[in-house]
Amino acid sequence: MSEKQDSTVAAEKRLHVDLGGQVAIVTGASQGLGRAIAETLAANGATVAVVARSAEKLAAVAAGIRAAGGRAEEFPCDVSKPEQVLSTVEAVVAKLGRLDVLVNNAGVTRDTLLPRMGDEEWDEVLLTNLRGPFLFTRAASRPMMQQRYGRIINVASVSGMIGNAGQANYSASKAGLIGFTKTVSKELAGRKITVNAVAPGFIASDMTAALGPALLDEVKKRVPVKRLGEAWEIAEAVLFLASPSSGYVNGQVIVVDGGLIA
């Protein structure tokens, strides 16, 4: 079976859950994994608040979700700014009535070897990838605690589990996010709020395409299933963790990497 056929067969058996009446925030929703996650949650009945810095890109994502029959509202926000994060969460609850799911997906990379890494390259990655989830989780936990229900899903990375040369900043941010996930899962569980993480491996994207055919072939050889992952495969792992059915899954890291680090 070819890689394309493999993905097509999987698409015919997509996961379906009922998120009707629920409201979800997805950060970094203007493109890539965030967009796929937002579209998947909306396709399963959630009203999705899409969050990113680019208002123009968010408007296009929200319009696409609505055109497909879903419900979405855009909320431009810099996830590293405390006042913007708090006002965004408050605006979502005020406009949409509640908050059930938070997906901390926003992330950046500034790759270079450690001796060449500047302070700004370190700080920018940690501010977005780690401070952002802290700010959104802190703000979102308040309405979730009041309603005694919530699902928080952090998008980590296998780089945060095994490291990756040239990504000291990124790997540190994702390792920190995993530790954050495990700690907060213990703090919020008593209010029926679960906190979990998804750790993608190599996923087909503009970033991986930039590696070039030769390097991509080498990457695929390292992955036991012999292909890159698809964005929807990450989105469906998030969908399960966002569902009411995942209530006994808490403080876990679900690795979606084709067996790369097994």
Residue 118 has, within 13 A of its CA and on its CB side, a CA count of 4
Alpha helix segments (H runs only) across 100-230: 119-126, 132-147, 159-162, 168-188, 206-209, 213-222
Q: Which residues are catalytic?
A: 170
CA–CA dist 140, 93 (Å, integer): 9
CA–CA dist 162, 117 (Å, integer): 20
Is beta strand 47-52 parallel, antiparallel or unpaired with respect to 193-200?
unpaired
CA–CA dist 156, 19 (Å, integer): 23
Count CB atoms within 10 A of the CB of residue 44: 21
154, 104 in Cβ contact below 8 A?
yes
CA–CA dist 159, 157 (Å, integer): 5
CA–CA dist 108, 242 (Å, integer): 23
154's tokens:
């952090």
Cα end-to-end span (Å), the chain:
23
